[in-house]
Amino acid sequence: MGTGRGRVSVKLKGDDALITINAATTQTRILKKLIANLIRAETHKVRPAYTPFEVRIWTSVLADKRGYHDVDNVAKAVLDALSGIFWQDDRQVQRLISERFEGDANRIVVRVRPLNGPVEPVEFDDGLFDA
C-alpha cells in the first residue's frame, strides 16, 4: 500500500490485543494514521504500561508486492506506531516475531501482550559457528 486508506480493527481480550490492519506498508507515518486514532478511540481504557511486552506481527502481501515489505521495516513501523498506546517506549518490547508471507490481501496482523515475568532465554547453539 502506498497512500491509500486502510481499515483497522482492534480486539481486546484481557491484557492481550489483536490489531488487524487491512493494508501493508512500512511507512511509519501511514501506519500511525491508520492505527493511532482508531486504537486510541477503541482502547480508551488502555494506558501505556511500563512492563515488558511480546509482539507478533504477520504481514500478508499480494504476490506483486512481495518485495516491498521487509519484515524488519514493517516491525519497526508497527512498534513506532504503537508507542504511547500500549507501551511508553518500544524498548519495552522484549520479544518480537515478525513474519511475511504471500496472501490474498495486503494485511498486517499484530498481537500485543504483556509479559508476566522475565523472558525465558533461548538456548544458543554454539555449534552454529563450527565450520
Cell of 16: 492481550
Its domain, for residue 65, covers 19-117
Residue 89 lies in a domain: yes
Does residue 10 sit within a domain? Answer: no
Q: Are 116 and 56 contacting, i.e. CB atoms less than 8 angstroms apart? A: no
- Number of separate domains in the chain: 1
Q: Examine residue 55 and state whether it is found in any structural domain, yes or no.
A: yes
Arithmetic mean of pLDDT, 93-117: 91
For residue 59, how far is the Cα from the chain centroid?
A: 9
Domain annotation covers residue 3? no
Is residue 94 in some structural domain?
Answer: yes
Q: What whole-number distance in Å separates Cα of residue 97 and Cα of residue 76?
A: 11
Q: Say if 95 falls within a structural domain.
A: yes
Question: pTM (2 decimals)?
Answer: 0.79
Residue 29 lies in a domain: yes
- Indicate if the pLDDT at residue 64 is higher than 60: yes
Residue 130 lies inside a defined structural domain of this protein: no
For 20, phi and psi rounded to 5 degrees? Answer: -115, 125
**Segment 69-97 mean pLDDT:** 89
Residue 4 has a pLDDT of 40
Q: What is the CATH number of the domain that holds 86?
A: 3.30.1330.70
More confidently predicted of 83 and 25? 83
